[in-house]
Amino acid sequence: MKFVEQRRQPFLSESNYRMELEGLLASIDLFSKQPSGVGRNLQERWLASAEIIASKYFDLCLLKYTAGDDISALRSNLDQIVSAYEDLAQQNRNFHAEPDRPVFSFASLDDYCRLLQLIGLCYLLHRRDLLPRIAKLCDALKGEDAIYEDLLAFSLSDRVDVDQWFWDKPYGDLIKAFYKDIEAERIACLRTFLKRWYKDLSSTGWHDAHKPDSEGRTGGYFGYWSFEAGAAVLLLGIEDDTSLHPFLYYPKDIVAWAKANMELGNDLDASATGIRSGADQSC
């Protein structure tokens, strides 16, 4: 199959894919062997390297999905991503002498978006076994954000009840979907969420990465995907998601794969989760 036929978003050319793939792999290899040049001392430079590696592993997974790679092969990539963030967390905590320092910040839209994407991928790839490890990366933030807590609550029983969240745009409509009893209303919330998802994330570092810069150069685009929306469809037991397919950022292929491979994770349906009610406001 030709690359243009198998890719999952039209912004990625085959030449850019090969360039980005080579660059990501080279960066991971380089910073695994030597510290970054940024930092006041050697420990801080190694910390910067760990941050680069974790980010590149995540970007690599995005790039492979966007390029049309086999979804089953991405399951093992999640192990690499989580392990890299665990290494980053350990180095970050040692450097700051804060044993509970979170590796993600809810106050950072980039961090928040990536964390929800990572959780969404765990559900879609049937890797719920990784969720306790992801939760440990942010133990200090437990109970601070309803969207984060409710997503984890579908798999972890120790989450807490909270009715506030950090980023109402665009995520307010996502959490509303979890508290609707009728499938049509859930779909309506998800459609509103996806309609504004990309626009409301315009302040993130990856936004518009597919567009040439002022000098006509391109690079840094790995794909734009709302994996958390896909996870919501799976967790809420929504059978017909075709009305979400027109949204470019909705990962319909991985949702279809997840539904066809439910036995891989022994997933629970929404009725068995004890999802909480009462979320009604944002921070």
Dump pLDDT digits (tens) for 112-146: 999 999 999 999 999 999 999 999 999 999 999 99
What are the φ and ψ backbone dihedral angles of 27, each rounded to 5 degrees? -65, -45
| Model pLDDT, residue 112 | 98
Q: What angle do CA 167, 112, 75 make, to 5 degrees?
A: 135
| Model pLDDT, residue 177 | 98
Look up the pTM and report it.
Answer: 0.93
What is the tally of helices (H) and strands (E) in the chain?
Answer: 11, 0
| Model pLDDT, residue 216 | 76
| Model pLDDT, residue 266 | 60
Distance in angstroms (rounded) separating the CA atoms of residues 105 and 113: 10
Distance in angstroms (rounded) separating the CA atoms of residues 212 and 121: 29
Which class in CATH covers the domain with range 3-272?
mainly alpha
Sign of CA dihedral 24, 85, 61, 70: positive
Distance in angstroms (rounded) separating the CA atoms of residues 181 and 134: 29
**Residue 268 has what DSSP assignment?**
P
Q: Centre a 10 Å sphere on the Cβ of residue 18 and count the other Cβ atoms it contains.
A: 12
Please identify every stretch of the chain with a pLDDT value under 70, giving residue numbers as ranges: 266-283
Closest listed residue to residue 203, CA positions, set 108, 105, 66:
108
The encoded tokens of residue 105 equal 């910040």
Distance in angstroms (rounded) separating the CA atoms of residues 22 and 38: 23
Domain map of the chain by residue range?
A: 3-272
Asked if residue 170 has a cis previous peptide bond (ω within 30° of 0), the answer is: yes
Distance in angstroms (rounded) separating the CA atoms of residues 180 and 33: 50
| Model pLDDT, residue 1 | 81
Q: Centre a 10 Å sphere on the Cβ of residue 195 and count the other Cβ atoms it contains.
A: 15
